Chains A and B, each alone.
Chain A
Amino acid sequence: MAKQEPKIGVYICRCGCDIEGNISATVDVEKVKEAAASINGVKVAEVYEYVCSNPGQQMIRDGIKEQGLNRIVVAACSPRMHLETFKRNVNQEGLNPYLLEIANIREQCSWIHDDKKLATFKAVDLVGRAVERARNLKPLEEKKVKVNRDALVIGGGIAGINASVELADKGYQVYLVEKGPSIGGHMAQLGKTFPTLDCSSCVITPKMVYVAQHPLIKIFSLSEVTKVDGSPGNFKITIKKRPRYVDASKCTACGECSKKCPVTAKSEFEVGLGSRKAIYQPFRQAVPSAYSIDKVNCLYFTKGVCKVCQKFCKANAVDFMQQEETVELNVGAIVVSTGYEVLDPQGVKQYSYGLNPDIVTHLQFERLLVQGLRRPSTGEQPKKIAFILCVGSRMNETAVENDYCEYCCNIGCMNAIKEAYVFQKEVPDAEPWVFYTDIRAHGKGYEEFYARLRNHGVRFIRGRAAEVMPYNGHLRVRAADTLLGMPIEEDFDMVVLSSGLVPSPGTDNVARMIGIHTGSDGFILERHHKLRPVDTQREGVYACGCALGPKDIRETITESMAVASQVATFLGKGEVPVSAEVAMVDEKKCNGCEECLKICPARAVEKIPSTFRTRMEINPMSCIGCGICVPICPTGAIDLNHSSEEQLMAQVRGVEMKEDVSPKIVAFIEKNTAYASADLAGQTRAHYGPNIRIISVPSTGRVGFKHLLQAFVAGADGVVFVEGEDSSFTGEKLREHVTRLKKDLQAVGVESLRLVSTTITIPQYPKLVDTFEVFTNRVSKIGPLSPKVRSEVGEKLKKLEAGESK
């Protein structure tokens, strides 16, 4: 197809009337129109009050229809406002929506600067640059890819159970993978739940049965996911099924085997406070109900003797020869619901956990309450119990190095109040004391529950307990009543520690395996704190429940429903659009060095072996379009759609900055978070100098040495990289990238001070403004780049470009 000659239309918005508009008040839009009209290739240049309005959009469509325009530039507000609107508009008139470019002359120009002359100059510059980029834009098609309509749920606690139920009821086939012999998680261990005092088992057991009987849910128990390949919508999953040594299809769960088994071990379900046999069912309502053999304690596996269970099993279900199985599945979406674990309070040494059997965690106390409350030491009913809150939680660093949680465990307060209440119901004359720092009763009905219990004789002491000393059959607790400023010392029969909640063991392995991130607290990191709380960084991968952070059951159920909805949206149509803004490898140039595979944050690069040589291929389904792979490729084999080498170089070249501002700074800004921060600076009418020219890039990793050189050739005296703090191009990677570039710059005589980088979150726009100002000062101190160096840089750039075209 012959290359179409670009016929560019430039539409400039006043964003208001006359010279009162948001843009026209500072920028002389008529001058901008004049300047645009004089650019080669620009066939139409118009000014309008609100280009985003219907008549404004009509103008553009008319331009396409009547003037044959095949490239549109809109100089108006930030593309984050109306990009989609404009794209749909040009598409309507038959023009490919990727042939549209927006110049941000409001949030990043008219709202930032006061000086009309300089603001206008800058707007002219921005429009000129947009025109250059538009000239090099290429039409792109958004493909659609068929997706597999099955879902994988990892973790069989209440979060995973409910997500599975919701999805299966929507008609999706669900594979529920659980590490232990039964689903149910920690909720199955709880007695009563707050604030309604529902019986936890009564709530979860019917759900577990429903899951077991649902035709669209397949449970893999004693199983773990070992490999995740493929791409969103088409994941290839490998599951390792550990042997149960009992044929689940034959086992009737009669329990005879367990009765006869001679080996006793500590029960995990009873959190060490009870025992089970080597052949066992974790609890009566287990799903699957089949028994399983614990290889570590079983006499047959350790010593080769016994086999009593097999002898007495009437259903002939015991099978010592069972092997580990590997299962491979294809799914379209993955839900991570791996849950939590209780922090071992042994590390919080002053509470003497582990030195006395009457000091227990809140989860152990739940089991004691369910079994019929007795002191582990004497077997008698305890009369006086101290509930100590915030054990191992809300610590940001301590003099002692051990495991701790910086965050609040969310449920400790309410759980202790509930346990105090149940304790009172069970034991006449019970005396529960709660030692708290703050009572967090944030959920529905929580404050009322707390108020009710205060009237019930639960004693609340405001003061984090200082120590627990076991002494002569009692437990001495020391604290201070901080409200009175007086020390408190009292003896108790038992001490219950509301211990912190941490990610269940192996959460970080699962995350790494799937290619998603965990936060600094170790829990799965959501895509966006408010707008996408159950999505992860990868398309098609979601998370819910305590895997994301400690929370109560109500929130867990809510999140599991949200996740089911997200999965349904993703898989519901049977196909998903594949973004067109993806990277592509030119197989002729690829030498199989694998640098792109190593650096890709989204697992999008695949190795394609062939008889002649290995080459790399980028899966458009997985590619997130960050472009980090482009400059890293030693042969220049990779290019990024819609931020191609041609387009980016054109944009940088267009930075002419002819006007008299100094020093001239080019800022490469990551197009999502960092760009939003820059927009916010404009929205709040912050100020920075007109010497700053912002170029939006998918990620600052996209920017390579060549583009830096071009920036300096175009007149820049300094370059800033601003990356979003939550982006996949992490702060550490950014620093490495910049260090390399500084070295390269120094080699051509450009001072390393002329390049800086920073990361930013959206609300941190003052940091952005600060960065610009400080850098401007720094560069003005060392002065503009000398003409000699600038021409040397030009020579180097020419050499590089010549080398590539070979």
Chain B
Amino acid sequence: MKYAYFPGCSIHTTAQEYGISSKAVSKVLGIELIEIPEWNCCGAMDAVYAYNPLLSISLSARNLALAESMKMDVVTLCSACFFTLSRANKLLHEDSELKGKVDKLLNDSGLQYTGGVKVRHYLDVLLNDVGLENISKNVKVKLDGLKVAPYYGCMLIRPPNIVNFDDPEHPHSMDKIIEAIGGKNVDYIYKTQCCGASLGLTEQEVMMEMTKDLLLEAKKANADCIALPCPLCHLNMDAKQKTIESAFDIKIGMPVVFFTQLMGVAFGLSPKELALNKNCVPTKKLFSQIHA
């Protein structure tokens, strides 16, 4: 199983755990993620689009053009990149005037995109190409009903006419994977509620109010950890957890891991291989709990 891999900016920086653990898990499952050479920023959804819509779409289009020459499906880890590339793909298909404009810009730089690329999220590959049975087969360490709060966030599942992957209101893709590796999903009512995304950088108070509810609810549901598929959500829930604790004078102490890190633990990989030491909220206790 080979895929044109689009990491996205944060995989090499703020969400290294995600990239490292996903590569490790892919090795176990026989997935080959071939990084698209010379990829650029995906188009950053709203961050770039608000300033220059054409730039945002063209950024996406360049990546799609590079991927097309590889003749493989594009797979992303980051939900925001997944959304941005999918949306650009859709807009280019629907708006022939826009496509014409972008085509000219690409051609002037020696690139070409005919529209043949399919954009997929890593979860999609795991569920539909690898299959739950194969995932279960590779489990070496019993998670023994570890209580996980599956947090999906926004861009992976909404809106269905752009991403078309899982149910936008009651998603189950990550739930299934967690069960397949021996975990237990708690009844997490806020699994699709927005964490605040880029507001974390510009309007921290708003983001904290939104993220605090997500963390407290996971705690109330007795989860041992939160699992998620998005670098920006991870930043808000993990790196900023201490800030939230002090801002509201509450204690949370909830480990926030990428779901691939949990998969890696179940596959018997070491904390180093899964970059578990890079999570800001300590995961040592979580790891030892599993191996106890």
The reply to whether A399 and B160 contact each other, CB–CB distance below 8 Å, is: yes
The reply to whether B160 and A400 contact each other, CB–CB distance below 8 Å, is: yes
The reply to whether B169 and A349 contact each other, CB–CB distance below 8 Å, is: yes
Nearest to A399 among chain B residues (CB) is B159
The reply to whether A467 and B161 contact each other, CB–CB distance below 8 Å, is: no
Q: How far is the CA of A401 from the CA of B168 in the complex (A)?
A: 11
The reply to whether A349 and B161 contact each other, CB–CB distance below 8 Å, is: no
The reply to whether B167 and A401 contact each other, CB–CB distance below 8 Å, is: no
Nearest to A350 among chain B residues (CB) is B169
Q: Is A469 an interface residue (CB 8 A)?
A: yes
Q: How far is the CA of A471 from the CA of B161 in the complex (A)?
A: 28
Q: Is B170 an interface residue (CB 8 A)?
A: yes
Chain A residues near B161 (CB-CB < 8 A): 399-401
Within the complex, what minimum Cβ distance (angstroms) separates A397 from chain B?
A: 9
Nearest to B217 among chain A residues (CB) is A471
Mask for A338-356, Cβ within 8 A of B = 1, else 0?
0000000000011010010
Enumerate B105-161 residues with CB–CB distance to A below 8 Å. 158-161
Mask for A379-415, Cβ within 8 A of B = 1, else 0?
0000000000000000000011100000000000000
Q: Is B47 an interface residue (CB 8 A)?
A: no
Nearest to A402 among chain B residues (CB) is B160
If A349-B167, A349-B168, A400-B168 touch, whether A471 touches B189 (CB-CB below 8 Å) is: yes
Nearest to A349 among chain B residues (CB) is B169
Q: How far is the CA of A400 from the CA of B160 in the complex (A)?
A: 6
Chain B residues near A349 (CB-CB < 8 A): 167-170
Question: Interface residues of B, CB < 8 Å — how many?
Answer: 9
Q: How far is the CA of A469 from the CA of B169 in the complex (A)?
A: 10
Enumerate B235-251 residues with CB–CB distance to A below 8 Å. none
Chain B residues near A467 (CB-CB < 8 A): 169
Nearest to A468 among chain B residues (CB) is B169
Nearest to A351 among chain B residues (CB) is B169
Q: How far is the CA of A467 from the CA of B168 in the complex (A)?
A: 12
The reply to whether B160 and A401 contact each other, CB–CB distance below 8 Å, is: yes
Chain A residues near B170 (CB-CB < 8 A): 349, 352, 355
Q: How far is the CA of A782 from the CA of B206 in the complex (A)?
A: 65
The reply to whether B168 and A469 contact each other, CB–CB distance below 8 Å, is: no
Q: How far is the CA of A401 from the CA of B161 in the complex (A)?
A: 8
Enumerate A167-215 residues with CB–CB distance to B below 8 Å. none
Which of B160, B161, B169, B189 has the most chain A CB atoms inside 10 A of its CB?
B169
Enumerate B171-200 residues with CB–CB distance to A below 8 Å. 189
Overall SS of chain B's interface: loop
Chain A residues near B158 (CB-CB < 8 A): 399
Nearest to A476 among chain B residues (CB) is B189
Q: How far is the CA of A401 from the CA of B160 in the complex (A)?
A: 8
Within the complex, what minimum Cβ distance (angstroms) separates A510 from chain B?
A: 33
Q: How far is the CA of A350 from the CA of B170 in the complex (A)?
A: 8
Chain A residues near B160 (CB-CB < 8 A): 399-401
Enumerate A88-139 residues with CB–CB distance to B below 8 Å. none
Q: How far is the CA of A604 from the CA of B256 in the complex (A)?
A: 72
Enumerate B72-86 residues with CB–CB distance to A below 8 Å. none
A-B contact count (CB 8 A): 22
Which of A355, A399, A467 has the most chain B CB atoms inside 10 A of its CB?
A399
Give the size category of A's interface with B. 10 to 19
Q: How far is the CA of A350 from the CA of B171 in the complex (A)?
A: 12
Chain B residues near A401 (CB-CB < 8 A): 160-161
Enumerate A321-376 residues with CB–CB distance to B below 8 Å. 349-350, 352, 355
Chain B residues near A355 (CB-CB < 8 A): 170
Within the complex, what minimum Cβ distance (angstroms) separates B159 from chain A?
A: 4
Chain A residues near B167 (CB-CB < 8 A): 349
Mask for A787-805, Cβ within 8 A of B = 1, else 0?
0000000000000000000
Within the complex, what minimum Cβ distance (angstroms) separates B242 from chain A?
A: 28
Q: How far is the CA of A350 from the CA of B169 in the complex (A)?
A: 6
Q: How far is the CA of A400 from the CA of B170 in the complex (A)?
A: 13
The reply to whether A469 and B189 contact each other, CB–CB distance below 8 Å, is: yes
Chain A residues near B168 (CB-CB < 8 A): 349, 400
Chain B residues near A399 (CB-CB < 8 A): 158-161
Chain B residues near A476 (CB-CB < 8 A): 189
Enumerate A430-486 residues with CB–CB distance to B below 8 Å. 467, 469, 471, 476
Within the complex, what minimum Cβ distance (angstroms) separates A724 from chain B?
A: 33
Q: How far is the CA of A469 from the CA of B170 in the complex (A)?
A: 10
Within the complex, what minimum Cβ distance (angstroms) separates A346 from chain B?
A: 11
Chain B residues near A350 (CB-CB < 8 A): 169
Chain A residues near B159 (CB-CB < 8 A): 399-400
Q: How far is the CA of A129 from the CA of B169 in the complex (A)?
A: 67
Enumerate B261-291 residues with CB–CB distance to A below 8 Å. none
Within the complex, what minimum Cβ distance (angstroms) separates A643 from chain B?
A: 44
Nearest to B162 among chain A residues (CB) is A399
Chain B residues near A400 (CB-CB < 8 A): 159-161, 168
Within the complex, what minimum Cβ distance (angstroms) separates A351 from chain B?
A: 9
Within the complex, what minimum Cβ distance (angstroms) separates B172 from chain A?
A: 12
Within the complex, what minimum Cβ distance (angstroms) separates B199 from chain A?
A: 17
Within the complex, what minimum Cβ distance (angstroms) separates A572 from chain B?
A: 55
Within the complex, what minimum Cβ distance (angstroms) separates B207 from chain A?
A: 18
Q: How far is the CA of A471 from the CA of B158 in the complex (A)?
A: 22
Nearest to B167 among chain A residues (CB) is A349
Within the complex, what minimum Cβ distance (angstroms) separates B79 from chain A?
A: 17
Chain B residues near A471 (CB-CB < 8 A): 189
Q: How far is the CA of A476 from the CA of B217 in the complex (A)?
A: 14
Q: How far is the CA of A469 from the CA of B213 in the complex (A)?
A: 15
Chain A residues near B189 (CB-CB < 8 A): 469, 471, 476
Nearest to A354 among chain B residues (CB) is B170
Chain B residues near A352 (CB-CB < 8 A): 169-170
Chain B residues near A469 (CB-CB < 8 A): 189
Q: How far is the CA of A471 from the CA of B191 in the complex (A)?
A: 13
Q: How far is the CA of A469 from the CA of B191 in the complex (A)?
A: 11
Q: How far is the CA of A34 from the CA of B133 in the complex (A)?
A: 95
Q: How far is the CA of A118 from the CA of B221 in the complex (A)?
A: 86
Q: How far is the CA of A467 from the CA of B167 in the complex (A)?
A: 15
Within the complex, what minimum Cβ distance (angstroms) separates B16 from chain A?
A: 34
Q: How far is the CA of A400 from the CA of B159 in the complex (A)?
A: 7
Within the complex, what minimum Cβ distance (angstroms) separates B206 from chain A?
A: 14
Nearest to B220 among chain A residues (CB) is A472
Within the complex, what minimum Cβ distance (angstroms) separates B241 from chain A?
A: 24
Within the complex, what minimum Cβ distance (angstroms) separates B157 from chain A?
A: 11
Q: How far is the CA of A496 from the CA of B101 in the complex (A)?
A: 50
Which of A400, A467, A476 has the most chain B CB atoms inside 10 A of its CB?
A400
Q: How far is the CA of A687 from the CA of B160 in the complex (A)?
A: 49
Q: How far is the CA of A338 from the CA of B161 in the complex (A)?
A: 34
Q: How far is the CA of A401 from the CA of B162 in the complex (A)?
A: 11
Nearest to A400 among chain B residues (CB) is B160
Chain A residues near B169 (CB-CB < 8 A): 349-350, 352, 467
Q: How far is the CA of A36 from the CA of B160 in the complex (A)?
A: 70
Q: How far is the CA of A400 from the CA of B158 in the complex (A)?
A: 9
Q: How far is the CA of A352 from the CA of B189 in the complex (A)?
A: 12
Within the complex, what minimum Cβ distance (angstroms) separates B57 from chain A?
A: 20
Q: How far is the CA of A408 from the CA of B186 in the complex (A)?
A: 39
Q: How far is the CA of A352 from the CA of B168 in the complex (A)?
A: 12
Within the complex, what minimum Cβ distance (angstroms) separates A321 from chain B?
A: 48
Within the complex, what minimum Cβ distance (angstroms) separates A739 from chain B?
A: 23
Within the complex, what minimum Cβ distance (angstroms) separates A19 from chain B?
A: 56
Within the complex, what minimum Cβ distance (angstroms) separates B171 from chain A?
A: 10
Nearest to A355 among chain B residues (CB) is B170
Nearest to B164 among chain A residues (CB) is A401
Nearest to A471 among chain B residues (CB) is B189
Within the complex, what minimum Cβ distance (angstroms) separates A260 from chain B?
A: 42
Q: How far is the CA of A350 from the CA of B167 in the complex (A)?
A: 10
Q: How far is the CA of A350 from the CA of B192 in the complex (A)?
A: 11
What are some 5 contacts across the A-B interface (CB < 8 A)?
Answer: A349-B170, A352-B169, A400-B168, A467-B169, A476-B189
Residues of B within 8 A of A (CB): 158-161, 167-170, 189
- 6 closest pairs, A vs B, by CB? A349-B169, A399-B159, A399-B161, A350-B169, A400-B160, A471-B189
For the complex with contacts A399-B161, A400-B161, 16 further pairs of A-B residues with Cβ separation under 8 Å are A349-B167, A349-B169, A349-B170, A350-B169, A352-B169, A352-B170, A355-B170, A399-B158, A399-B159, A400-B159, A400-B160, A400-B168, A401-B161, A467-B169, A469-B189, A476-B189
